[in-house]
Amino acid sequence: MNILQSFKMAIKSIWGNKLRSFLTMLGIIIGVASVIILVSLVNGQMNYMTEQFSSMGTNQINVNVSNLSSRSVTVDEMYEFYEKNQDLFSQMTPKISITGTIKNGTETLTDTTVTGVSEQYLEMKDQTLESGRFLQFSDILSRQKVVVAGYYVAWDLFGGVDKAIGETLKIDGVSYKIVGVISRQNEDELEAGGSDDVLYLPYSSAVRQTNSANVNSYVFSTADTDHTTQAKNAINSFLMGIFKDQDLFRVSAMSELLDSLNSIMSMMSMMLGGIASISLLVAGVGVMNIMLVSVTERTREIGIRKALGAQKRNIMQQFVIEAAVTSSLGGVIGIVVGSIATTIISSFMGLNATPTPGAVLISFSVSVGIGLVFGYMPANRAAKLNPIDALRSE
């Protein structure tokens, strides 16, 4: 008997016991579907978080310093360092966060992110202007009271982008003129505290606004993401020369944080996939039990085939292939169920999750492997039956 004949007999046996075969496959279906769903959702979440980090700038390095009366770094010193390392950095800006209330007449905003930055910040964030202009070096130099507003601020306080240009708003009672409006960042929803609820003003004006003697935060953009580590080391060396204490400053690269995040999410994906695979192991036990029942039911058939000259390997081949076909069909159904379920669940969660080829291939391979491994013992038992004893079986 060749493999094709064994395959046809396996299909005939499965079709002849449809309910029992389906219940046998059910564990395989659930296991394969679970692996695909969990791995796909984790990957979808990882892609979402990667996009969020990318929008923040994977080529950026954030620097925070704790200036003391005896040891401190000034904005001019940071710019001098930046100018000397143009081969490592493409842009640099001081960054000052302001907590305050934004007002236009009786209209008030309390969740707006207000940040003092340099004229290079727009390019660093890879954003564009909807209208007007961005901050200029002259604004920084003369501490002009001008701001660039986010899309939400323009619409909420003034009723439109063009209406906002040239208007005045107050930040904690201090008046600022709007000279530009940033293009919309969140295409889905304009909301308070969102990516469009922002204000950018000259960092020199922000220093005066906060009555702060020193700037404690800076952002650098690397000229080449492949040299991020080198750029980070250069900043560390420069600041260590000033502060003499690693605890007085912190340098963090967004790309390194993203790499760490990807590593954690990949480990989580493997862990969840492994947990889901336990159900495949349980399903394998079910396949073995059903195949043992099948061997018992067909003992007389095995005796007749052996009496007619069937060899041990022919009997073993038949039952192993039957177990493998059962598991494979369960795997295929599981892939279909898992793919459909992933699409439905991801749409409810707002994720762009799709079944990954790796998860599909691994789960299907495991299901086939389970059929071969757990089908071996029943097949071996059938092959070892004595023809005379098998023929006596009722």
**Tens digit of each residue's pLDDT, the chain (394 residues):** 556 666 676 677 767 777 777 877 787 888 888 888 888 887 787 777 766 665 566 678 889 998 887 888 889 999 999 999 988 888 899 999 888 888 888 888 888 889 999 999 988 888 889 888 999 999 999 999 999 998 988 888 888 888 889 999 988 888 999 999 999 887 777 788 788 889 999 999 988 888 876 788 999 988 877 778 888 889 999 999 888 888 888 988 877 777 777 777 777 777 776 776 677 777 777 777 776 666 666 666 666 666 666 666 666 677 677 777 878 888 888 888 888 888 888 888 777 777 878 778 877 787 777 777 777 666 666 666 665 555 555 5
Contacts of 389 (CB under 8 A, 6+ apart): 303
Q: Which two tokens stand for residue 97?
A: 């966060």
**Cβ atoms of 303 and 391 closer than 8 Å:** yes
Burial 233-271 (b: 16+ CB within 10 A, else e): ebbeebbeebbeeeebbebebbbeebeeeeeebeeebee
- How many domains does one find in the chain? 2
Asked whether residue 96 falls in the same domain as residue 169, the answer is yes
Instruction: Out of 203, 233, 256, pick the residue that ends a domain.
Output: 256
What CA–CA distance (Å, rounded) separates 184 from 194? 11
Asked whether residue 307 falls in the same domain as residue 194, the answer is no
What CA–CA distance (Å, rounded) separates 218 from 326? 62
Asked whether residue 107 falls in the same domain as residue 120, the answer is yes
Q: Please name the amino acid found at residue 303.
A: G
Asked whether residue 175 falls in the same domain as residue 92, the answer is yes
Asked whether residue 90 falls in the same domain as residue 205, the answer is yes
Select from 303, 315, 317 the least CA-distant residue to 387: 303
User: What tens digit of pLDDT does each residue of 17-59 get?
Assistant: 777 778 777 878 888 888 888 888 877 877 777 666 655 666 7
User: What tens digit of pLDDT does each residue of 110-140 get?
Assistant: 888 899 999 999 888 888 898 889 999 999 9
Instruction: Out of 195, 230, 256, pick the residue that ends a domain.
Output: 256
User: What tens digit of pLDDT does each residue of 219-239 get?
Assistant: 998 887 777 888 888 999 999
Asked whether residue 187 falls in the same domain as residue 266, the answer is no
pTM of structure: 0.60
Q: What angle do CA 347, 352, 355 make, to 5 degrees?
A: 95
Instruction: Out of 223, 256, 289, pick the residue that ends a domain.
Output: 256
Asked whether residue 159 falls in the same domain as residue 106, the answer is yes
Q: Is 251 helix (H, G, I), strand (E, B) or coil?
A: strand
Q: Is 59 helix (H, G, I), strand (E, B) or coil?
A: coil
**Cβ atoms of 183 and 126 closer than 8 Å:** no
Asked whether residue 167 falls in the same domain as residue 282, the answer is no
Q: How many residues does the chain have?
A: 394
What CA–CA distance (Å, rounded) separates 124 from 221? 7
**Cβ atoms of 12 and 320 closer than 8 Å:** no
Asked whether residue 9 falls in the same domain as residue 133, the answer is no
Alpha-helical segments (H) within the chain: 3-16, 18-56, 75-84, 121-124, 137-141, 151-158, 161-164, 203-210, 228-243, 254-297, 299-307, 312-349, 357-383, 387-392
What CA–CA distance (Å, rounded) separates 139 from 32? 61
Domain, as residue range, for 20:
3-52+260-392
Asked whether residue 346 falls in the same domain as residue 209, the answer is no
Q: What angle do CA 62, 65, 71 make, to 5 degrees?
A: 150
What CA–CA distance (Å, rounded) separates 52 from 48? 6
**Cβ atoms of 315 and 1 closer than 8 Å:** no
Asked whether residue 81 falls in the same domain as residue 115, the answer is yes
Q: Is 215 helix (H, G, I), strand (E, B) or coil?
A: coil
Asked whether residue 246 falls in the same domain as residue 267, the answer is no
What CA–CA distance (Å, rounded) separates 240 from 247? 10
Provide the sign of the torsion angle of the four alpha carbons 377, 378, 382, 385, taken in this order: positive
